[in-house]
Amino acid sequence: MNRLFVFLSIPVVLSAASCAKQPAVDTPITPETVQRTVDALVANHGEGLRSRAERGVAQTATLWRSADGTVADFEAFCQQRFVADETARRVLFDKLSNGLEHLYGYAIMLSKDLQRPVHLAGDELTDIDGRFAAFDTQAHLSDDLFANQIGFIAALNFPAYTLVEKQQLGGNWTRLDWAYARMGDLFSSRVPAAQQQTYTAANAAADAYISEYNINLGYLLDTDGSRPFPEDLTLISHWGLRDEIKAQYANANGGLARQQLIYEVMLRIIDQSIPQQVINSKQYLWNPRTNTIEAQGQSVRATSEPNTRYQHLLNQFHAQLAIDAYTPDKPTFIQRQFDGNLELTVDEVERLFIELVSSAEVRQLAGIIEQRLGRKLQPFDIWYDGFNARSTISADLLERTTCSRYPNAETLERELPNILMQLGFSQPKAQFIAQRVRVETARGAGHAWGAEMRNHDAALLRSRMPQGGMDYKGFNIAMHEFGHTVEQTITLHDVDYYTMHGVPNTAFTEALAFVFQKRDLQVLGLGQGGGDAMANAAATMSNLWGCFEIMGVSLVDIGVWRWLYANPQADAEQLKQAVLRIAKEVWNAHYSDVFGQTDVPLLAIYSHMIYYPLYLSAYPIGHLIDFQLEQHFVGRYFAAEVERIFKQGRLDPQLWMQRGVGQPLSVQPLLTAARKAMEQNIE
């Protein structure tokens, strides 16, 4: 194990554990104080401002601590800083927006630079790289903004609205009303720097752990002692392993055996029986079926990975537990992620997912896949890729095309304007977007990281770039990440108010990433980006099967976090056993009838569960949005609609969908289209 991971995991456990039980927030402000303050403001400014005064004073009170001043100080602050005049309030909003753009923007730029050694391919990581990567440039920003009262001024004059209120009122709001409400969202909680820094350290440790979790497939042994994969084939878990399973559907000679072997690797990772010696190592040959290893023809004793995977998840749970007391409106990480970040309740999301994974349409599609494969489905067929056009194209052709066209990151960056123009963007717009995107070679699977200010910074597109040029898997992922950077650039530069920049939640950026990813063959000149009936039917079935897979993974993620809150004193071994149990329960409830096997823990393989907890739900929601977007794009000018729709910025999710594509977020459009597609039974 790299010393970086040791540093970033053990201290976090101790720090988080000591903070797990927080005392009640220390505030001198009582409900009586709030009412008295509101009455005084109404007396000074008129009854017409009562509603805004009540909301603003109440929010400010939840943020005020004894260290900020006495009750008298609080009342005086509200009297002096409440802006009743709407013209003056707009001036205040604009100045707050400008200041916050610079603060957030430069903080993100600094974080990107500090984390470059961990995120980018290069030298072996050292302890100091990990320490800088774990440094949270914004940890003290909230403290500082409240210390000089900027946070209080914003909360008092631009209070937040609950999710229910946004859903009920937002349809009648102006763009400025929405911008004011989003300003309030920025100051709806006050998490101390120490708690924020602890979580950042835990998350950075998990990120670093996952980024170097490579399996050398060329060193795998099958039961007959053969080595089925090329010696130099090294893949990251879970992304690379999953994508190799997908790629093997086009391999009629030994593809199934290779898929089965990768499946065994995945099971070993999930239950942590994988030998520690084979992780990111080429020193040992490993038979994942028997779980034995050897070196230079001699058997070597295998030592299982010591629940490292689950310790990283546990560290992040304890860090979030310490934050709970400081977010009274959303007192659990589950609520912060769903009600807060997704702006969809966890119950609403679960209902949506279960409706699809339990559907008759999925079972009908499984039958079609069985017919195509000519065999009964096996658990790894959850990643069946046969509906995509690339599954019929030679892997060698794909590799030759991408390696020759994109030999390095610099070449890919130069080609970004041409890629956008191939997708229908005008030359000026393609240049505008591409100039604000930087391509870098990733150490891990790759990711996108947007800017937070319109000047001085750019969105980052990071993808793996092996020596000899980008392979097809890397290009496919790069197109996904490019979709993210296009969204990030449009929604930062083209949205009217800074507090409205971005999208309603991360599922919406995933949706455009999926839209771009599906057009990879079009960019390579090897296929179409959609349009004919057969291609659209195949894409519909592919989307349904993809949702079926990732929704199950997401249900496991949600179930694990519910278990963590019910068992806050659990250790890594107990957490591992809970994850295995929950994964099997979800499988047995919604997947066993499709695949003919019970008690399969495969849904727990996703690395996101470990380094980006409770993010996974964004993917299936993104698939649903992606499908509804694609339906909307038919017969319309693709690039122009992308620009129009994403310029809406951060409306609430359902309003964004209604105004963007004319219908709410739902599984029904996909299920309805899938029924029609399956009637054609595309071959």
pLDDT per position as a tens digit, 652-677: 999 999 999 999 999 999 999 999 99
Tell me: do 28 and 154 sit in the same domain: yes
In a domain, 30, yes or no: yes
371 within a domain of the structure (yes/no) = yes
The tokens for 398 are: 């794909």
Q: Return the SS3 of 230.
A: coil
Per the listing, tokens 């509804």 go with: 628
Distance of alpha carbon 552 from alpha carbon 381, whole angstroms: 14
Residues 37 and 23 occupy one common structural domain: yes
Whether residues 482 and 499 share a domain: the answer is: yes
Task: Please report whether residue 110 resides in a domain.
Answer: yes
Positive/negative CA dihedral, 433, 434, 435, 440? positive
Q: Pick from 507, 524, 541: which residue ends a domain?
A: 524
Shared domain check, 409 and 481: yes
Instruction: Give yes or no: residues 440 and 568 share one domain.
Output: no
Residue-number span of the structural domain to which 513 is assigned: 394-451+460-524
Q: Are residues 357 and 400 in the same domain?
A: no
Q: Do 431 and 417 contact (CB within 8 A), yes or no?
A: yes
- On whether the CB atoms of residues 268 and 274 are closer than 8 A, the answer is yes
- Shared domain for 550 and 674, answered yes or no, is yes
Domain's final residue, options 155, 184, 209: 209
Task: Tell me if 108 is assigned to some domain.
Answer: yes
Domain-located, residue 325: yes
Instruction: At 598, list the tokens.
Output: 């019970």
Angle at 323 between CA 508 and CA 569, to 5 degrees: 110
Same domain, yes or no, for 71 and 43?
Answer: yes
Q: pTM surpassing 0.75? A: yes
Q: Do 465 and 381 share a structural domain?
A: no
Secondary structure class of 293 (helix, strand, coil): strand
User: Whole-angstrom Cα distance, residue 156 to residue 54?
Assistant: 9
Residue 11 to residue 459: CA distance in whole angstroms: 32
Joined together, the tokens standing for residue 175 give: 């763009």
So what's the pLDDT on residue 530?
Answer: 47
Contact 646, 500 (CB under 8 A): no
**Which helix H or strand E contains 57, and what residues bound it?**
helix 50-63
| Per-residue confidence (pLDDT) for residue 5, from 0 to 100 | 31
CB 298 within 8 A of CB 313: no
pLDDT of residue 178: 98
Per the CB < 8 A criterion, the answer to whether 460 and 112 are in contact is yes
Three state DSSP letters for 373-401: HCCCCCHHHHHCCCCCHHHHCCHHHHHHH
pLDDT of residue 680: 79
The Cα–Cα gap between 466 and 232 comes to 11
Statement to judge: residues 560 and 520 lie in one domain: no
Tell me, yes or no, whether 652 lies in a domain: yes
- How many whole angstroms separate alpha carbon 560 and alpha carbon 592? 20
Are 522 and 539 a contacting pair, CB within 8 Å? no
Q: Return the HEC string of 410-477.
A: HHHHHHHHHHHHHCCCCHHHHHHHHCCEEEEEECCCEEEECCCCCCCCCEEEEECCCCCCCCHHHHHH
pLDDT of residue 16: 36
Domain end, chosen from 503, 524, 545, is at 524
Co-location of 194 and 318 in the same domain: no
Which residue ranges of the chain lie beneath pLDDT 70?
Answer: 1-24, 389-392, 528-532, 681-683
The number of residues in the chain equals 683
Q: Measured between alpha carbons, how far is residue 211 from residues 53, 69, 86, 116, 671 in Å?
A: 48, 45, 50, 13, 36
In a shared domain, residues 140 and 48: yes
Q: How many CA atoms lie within 13 A of 449 on its CB side?
A: 21
Q: Quote the number of domains for the chain.
A: 3
Which residues, including other chains, have CB under 8 Å from residue 228's CB and lie 6 or more apart? 220, 222, 254, 257, 258, 261
